[in-house]
Structure 1
Amino acid sequence: MKVLLLGGTGEARELAAQLVANGIDVTSSLAGRTKDLRLPDGAVRVGGFGGVTGLTEWLQSHPVDAVVDATHPFAATMTEHAVTATREADVPLLVLRRPGWSATPGDDWHWVDTAAAAAELLPSIGGRVFLTIGRQGLETFASTGLWTLARCVDPPEPAPTWCTLLLDRGPYDVAAELELLGRHRIDVLVTKDSGGPQTEAKLTAARELQLPVVLIHRPAAPLGVPVVETAAAATSWLQAL
């Protein structure tokens, strides 16, 4: 069996390791937008395909038995391309998405559909913002006029001048997040519903400090495509296939 794994997430690296251990020929495709990439087991290609046409042509010239989309839950464009290209190339597609976060007692969560909606809501609930949405879409929050600490893995280009930029990579722990929120006197957190344990500590810290959290809904999963939440489930699906 040969599998194309659209990766870049921890779940994708976990799945690649499982597939290699089970003797499945896997090629992981990484967008290459992040510096110091954590390479998975098996073969790796880095760089985009060139849209739907490029991915379709790649699948036609590199025959595989299945494609697994294990990209970030907010990588909606890549998922859309995968759905269209695999249908064109007549290749089975599986989507691997870790589950989103769920509120627990003590949480003060405000759900919105877009970054623009989050920016519009912010002035009514806080004045010092901890923004953890990644480097894409930061400028949406420049117009709020609020003091903002923006945390990213890699520096945005061009570098923002309207906020304080913190470059850091997870996983994060609750103690460090509490210290960070206290030191900067943060009174509202903004994040995407990425899910997973690597960046969940900020939500725990916000809960302990009784801070409001603005969460951006993740894009809906594609219709007509099987979706699993763990690497083990993806491995089982591929083995059954």
Structure 2
Amino acid sequence: MDDRRAGVAGTVLVLGGTGEARGLAAELAGRPGVRVVSSLAGRVTDPKLPEGEVRVGGFGGPERMATWLGEHEVRAVVDATHPFAERITASAVRACAAAGVPLLVLRRPGWTPEPGDDWHWVTSLTEAAHALPALGERVFLTTGRQGLPAFADLDESWFLIRTVDPPEPPLPRRHHLLLDRGPYTVTGERALMRAHGIGVLVTKDSGGTMTAAKLTAARELGLPVVIVRRPPLPTPPTGGMHTATTIPDALTWLDTLSIGRAHRTCGDEGAQPRLLRG
């Protein structure tokens, strides 16, 4: 059935649990006739749920994702996953090409150094681990829980490891685990680094403001920062992938597809999250 003939602007699938994904879902939930479904990978134990419908769990590969897009009459997909979620983005590119569904990749801008920064760019976590012995013994590691094995063999280094959920081994032999979730403040990050005698910070170029305070704190303390570059976006087979860096730009792109403009009424607080089975 044609969504437009039924008076429905269409279904939009938003991939990711980032702040941009939640913000976009909130905007779309206020659009008449728009069904927004947010898909979360399910890797975080207690994720913040966006407005609208929420789907938790993987699709089982690009072929099954393409099937899901057809079954749910999805008119557009917005990949607003983390900039380092390479596998999900690659699957989305292949699935949308197979299903003939327009795809937008929404990525917040990366970080840029400021005067006084001592940044050391690398292309992988393995390269970051190799750079550490020359930069400092006590390391503040903020690269997420999945890449920690890359640092497991650095027995001469001590690590303050911060993750949202408990990581699985192998972990570095000498470490202290801190379970915490942003946003963080410069004051808090500076105090944390001083309390643990941190000599070098390791992070990914995630961009955004939620976790950027650590960069300012490192600059103020004169600490070197090892930053992993973002992976390049995959090349779509049909050249049909679009990109945006802000939620307004994403909404403008959706407007070009005639997926209704926002018309929140007075007192409308948006749709409440509703969980779907994966």
The TM-score bracket by the shorter chain reads over 0.9
Picking from 143, 155, 162, the partner of 2:166 is 155
For residue 240 of structure 1, report the CA deviation from its aligned partner: 1.3
- For structure 1, list consecutive stretches of 5 or more residues without a partner in the other structure: none
RMSD of aligned Cα (Å): 1.1
Give the TM-score, by structure 1 length.
Answer: 0.97
Picking from 221, 224, 228, the partner of 1:212 is 224
- Is the aligned partner of 1:120 residue 2:130? yes
1:233 maps to a residue whose letter is: D
Picking from 2, 8, 17, the partner of 1:8 is 17
Q: Distance in 1 between matches of 2:247 and 2:126?
A: 33
Q: Residue 3 of structure 2 aligns with which residue?
A: none
- For structure 2, list consecutive stretches of 5 or more residues without a partner in the other structure: 1-9, 258-278
Q: Which has the higher contact order (CA 8 A, sep 6+)?
A: 2
Q: Distance in 1 between matches of 2:199 and 2:171?
A: 21
Q: Distance in 2 between matches of 1:143 and 1:210?
A: 27
1:190 maps to a residue whose letter is: V
- Pick which of 137-146 and 94-103 moved more: 137-146
Greater share of residues in helix: 1
Q: Distance in 2 between matches of 1:202 and 1:215?
A: 12
Q: Residue 55 of structure 1 aligns with which residue?
A: 65
Q: Residue 252 of structure 2 aligns with which residue?
A: 236
1:25-174, aligned counterparts within 5 Å?
25-145=35-155, 146-158=157-169, 160=171, 162=173, 163-174=175-186
Q: Distance in 1 between matches of 2:180 and 2:76?
A: 35
Structure 1 residues 186 and 30: alpha-carbon distance in aligned structure 2, compared to 1, 3 A threshold? same
1:192 maps to a residue whose letter is: K
Give the share of equivalent positions with the same residue, in percent: 59
SS in 2 for 1:215: strand
For residue 51 of structure 1, report the CA deviation from its aligned partner: 1.2
For residue 111 of structure 1, report the CA deviation from its aligned partner: 0.2
> Is the CA contact 2:142–2:203 (under 8 Å) kept in the aligned structure 1?
yes
Which has the greater radius of gyration?
2
SS in 1 for 2:78: strand
